[in-house]
A and B are shown apart, each in its own frame.
Chain A
Amino acid sequence: MDTIIVASLVSLGGIGFFAAVLLFGAAKKFKVEEDPKIDEVNEILPSANCGGCGYAGCRNFAEGIVKNRSLDGFFCPVGGNELMKQIAEIMGLTAQEKEPMVAVVRCSGSFKNSPAKNQFDGVSSCKSAHMLYAGPGGCPNGCLGLGDCVTSCPFDAIKISSETGLPIVDEEKCTACNNCVVACPRSIIELRNKGKKNKRVFVSCINKEKGAVAKKNCSAACIGCGKCVKECPFDAIVLENNLAYIDFEKCKLCKKCVPVCPTGAILAINFPEPKKIESTDKKEKIELNKKDSLNTPNSTQKNMNNNENKTKASDSENNSDKKELVVEEK
């Protein structure tokens, strides 16, 4: 009996010892030297692996930074400037500040503006529909509304509105990771400057067809009339191939282009409601929307009377619905 136990102990122990030596040797010989900084950087990254930085995941991004020893061309859109500062501290570098961006859907082809002429009965995928036809409204550049952007978003920040059939971006959740921009087969979504207090002015159309053709399919299409280009005091608007584009780096959010647009293709988002105007600081430039102010005519009248000499009212010719008063106060 004893000999069996001893023999097994010795043989097993021997194998164990031999294996230990082998593993020790292997661990020494094949050791991979890795900069501990990679782990440090990786630790503070958001671990969303969204690919917004252009790398194949957060770890890959950290490796890239540590390997390059510089932060040029590295930016984590999810963590933003704060995170980049922290990374810069770890690396002993200085981070360049980047303005926060947000995904903007440049299409106003809602059910109302671009009524469906036919039904799509295929796979619920924009890519598939894009290969087959121009879309229910007939606009070859319009949103198909089948939600490729929704499925591509790792942050649940984009949804298709059941009222308009267009995607709505949740600005709080959007990290500007670029996934939806890539997913959209028609390149409708663009990353734009988040702007002061999330205020944005942009042309909500990418249709490059001639005005008459574009208008046939969508009442809110940019028809390339160029009125906004003439109106813009900052040369921020370019008209190319029958389509106006507002350069967000030059745009000062004056909103002068909004009322002159005959189709209402230019959208101004997150500007304060007219009611708040009464309480805002008089030193600020204030724009009013006549459509809303019509409901409270007295307050508008007062406002105008009080600042008679410096009040400028401009009317747009074509669209009485979107007539707007621009009031400058000092």
Chain B
Amino acid sequence: MSILKTFKLGGIHPKEGKLSANSPIKNFPLPKTVYIPVSQHIGAPATVLVAKGENVKTGQLIAKGEGFISANIHSSITGKIAKIDEIVDSSGYPKKVIVIDRADEEIWCDNISDSDPNTTKEFSPEEVKQKMREAGIVGLGGATFPSHVKMSVPEGKTAEYLIINGVECEPYLTSDHRLMLEKGDEILKGISIMMKTLNTKKALIGIENNKKDAIEHLQKLSKNYSGVEVVPLKVQYPQGGEKQLIDALIKREVPSGKLPIEVGCVVQNVGTAFAVYEALYKNKPLIERVVTVTGDSVKEPSNFLVRIGTPIESLIEAVGGLPETVAKVINGGPMMGKALSNLSAPVTKGTSGILLIDKKEASRKTSKNCIRCARCTMVCPMGLAPYLLENLANRKLFESSEKEGIMDCIECGSCSYTCPANRPLLDIIRVGKGEVNTLRRKRVQK
């Protein structure tokens, strides 16, 4: 067996803990009430189209994404708009939500077919982009960048490769893994639609080698699709980062501050590919996603197909309730996820997993002085010097930290993970990034 590919700089290998890898995706029962935030994506919040008391069907457009970088929001259940309220969501701040009380009978919007049409359709690139936009598809890997924007290749650039991210390098999370196993054909159909849209001949699906079943399954299926190749990758965090994945697969480096299209590729998540399939073949907007609910003390770690807007509490109840030993509930994986401050926060398009962490693992150790061991520098996948960036941010030397490339930080947390002195490197760097952003904005204004 040949040596598996991976990215060249840094990287770590944390405990994998993929507890729910063998639990099939279950349909989560429809919640009584859903809380659908109008801002579930990067970019401008969507404008609310419905009013209190209105009846909505499943899949109906309830908030429209205006402006280029924005996304549509659809009703995920059939019911009545109870109110337009604010709720503390996973961002930790109160955000506008549309609250819908479920009706007894579920009625889908007329043009949506919930069954597989099993036909081979042809779509024009414009139609695909339009449909993606209408369906409110965003990057389902976690960054929630509106996907139709990525699909619009700027003039003068060509997309040589379509890269599909099936890496799922975050420990514990298994939603993409299960999706690849159970919806392989649909994902591949989505991929071929995107390939035609981008006019690319080659699609690479990158999957880490700890998901051997998914690799085999997709390799078998991809024989029926021309130009699609499944590439097994060495298990290394943060391989799921866009820039790392491009480096691992095609050995190209995305220049600082530029997008992947600069080196001729477009990266999409497997979840997004599935959503594209659903939008085009079934006309179904993005109203549900696979969420892993897991943790060391969770009774039955599971993968659920959840409607957007379902309160996270109910997901925790479904896996046997909140164990007493749990100290933190994380939205996302253990490396990049964020602790929730409110358990009734809803599942959004970007929620890939809910992780319950025990007290022992959740508590931070006391941070000591930096001993200049340079381990953070060794593991940084962007080739930065995290100890230096932390120091500069602490001293408020934001101009210098900008020169040292603080804005290239992808916030993967490898530095904090590896630091033997338990320094909160990423936390401070994040503050520094915020300050540099303000500086840049001021510069633009001048």
Contact = CB atoms under 8 A, between A and B. Distances in A.
Contacts of A213: 86, 94
A260 B431 CA distance: 41
Given A122-B424, A123-B424, A138 B430 contact: no
A134 B363 contact: no
A132 interface: yes
B171 to A, nearest CB: 19
A269 B134 CA distance: 57
Contacts of A127: 431, 434
A133 B340 CA distance: 9
B395 to A, nearest CB: 12
A167 to B, nearest CB: 19
A131 interface: yes
Most central of B86, B91, B427, B430 by chain A CB within 10 Å: B427
Given A121-B362, A121-B364, A133 B427 contact: no
Contacts of A121: 328, 339, 362-364
Given A117-B341, A121-B364, A213-B86, A132 B92 contact: yes
B341 A131 contact: no
B88 A128 contact: no
B385 to A, nearest CB: 19
A290 to B, nearest CB: 36
A309 interface: no
A117 B363 CA distance: 18
Given A122-B424, A133-B93, A133-B341, A138 B431 contact: no
Contacts of B431: 125, 127-128, 131
Contacts of B427: 122-123, 125, 128
B87 to A, nearest CB: 10
Interface in B334-372: 338-339, 341-342, 362-364
Nearest to B394: A125
B38 to A, nearest CB: 17
B428 interface: yes
A231 B428 CA distance: 47
Nearest to B433: A131
B281 to A, nearest CB: 40
Contact of B94 (A123, A128, A134): A134
B364 to A, nearest CB: 6
A100 interface: no
Contacts of B94: 134, 140, 209, 213
A132 B338 contact: yes
A44 to B, nearest CB: 28
B362 A131 contact: no
Interface residues of B, number: 20
Given A121-B363, A123-B424, A134 B92 contact: yes
A298 interface: no
Q: Which of B364, B430, B431 has the most CB of A within 10 A?
A: B431
Contacts of B88: 133-134, 138
Given A117-B341, A134-B341, A213-B86, A123 B92 contact: no
Contacts of A138: 88, 341
B428 A128 contact: yes
A118 interface: yes
A144 to B, nearest CB: 12
A132 B91 CA distance: 7
Interface string A102-122: 000000000000000110011
Interface string A127-156: 110011110001010000000000000000
Contacts of A134: 88, 92-94, 341
B328 to A, nearest CB: 8
Interface string B80-94: 000000101001111
Contacts of B341: 117-118, 133-134, 138
A131 B434 contact: yes
A166 B338 CA distance: 26
A182 to B, nearest CB: 11
B437 to A, nearest CB: 11
Contacts of B363: 121
A123 B432 CA distance: 13
Given A118-B341, A121-B362, A121-B364, A128 B430 contact: yes
Contacts of B92: 132-134
A117 to B, nearest CB: 7
B270 to A, nearest CB: 29
Contact of B93 (A117, A123, A140): A140
Interface in B363-391: 363-364
Contacts of A140: 93-94
B153 to A, nearest CB: 33
Contacts of A123: 424, 427-428
A141 B93 CA distance: 10
Contacts of B93: 133-134, 140
B330 to A, nearest CB: 12
Nearest to B428: A123
A128 B362 CA distance: 18
A131 B92 CA distance: 9
Contacts of A125: 427-428, 431
Contacts of A209: 86, 94
Contacts of A122: 364, 424, 427
A147 to B, nearest CB: 14
A209 B339 CA distance: 24
B436 to A, nearest CB: 13
A123 B52 CA distance: 41
A197 to B, nearest CB: 37
Nearest to B362: A121
A287 to B, nearest CB: 37
Nearest to A139: B94
Interface string B408-437: 000000000000000010011011001000
Contacts of A117: 341-342
A117 B364 CA distance: 19
A118 B328 CA distance: 10
A122 B434 CA distance: 17
Given A121-B363, A134-B88, A213-B86, 7 more contacts: A117-B341, A121-B364, A125-B428, A125-B431, A128-B428, A132-B339, A134-B93
9 tightest CB-CB pairs across the interface, nearest first?
A133-B92, A123-B427, A133-B341, A123-B424, A127-B431, A118-B341, A128-B427, A134-B93, A128-B431
23 contacts: A118-B341, A121-B328, A121-B363, A121-B364, A122-B364, A122-B424, A122-B427, A125-B428, A125-B431, A127-B434, A128-B427, A128-B431, A131-B430, A131-B431, A131-B434, A132-B92, A132-B338, A133-B88, A133-B93, A133-B341, A134-B92, A134-B341, A209-B86
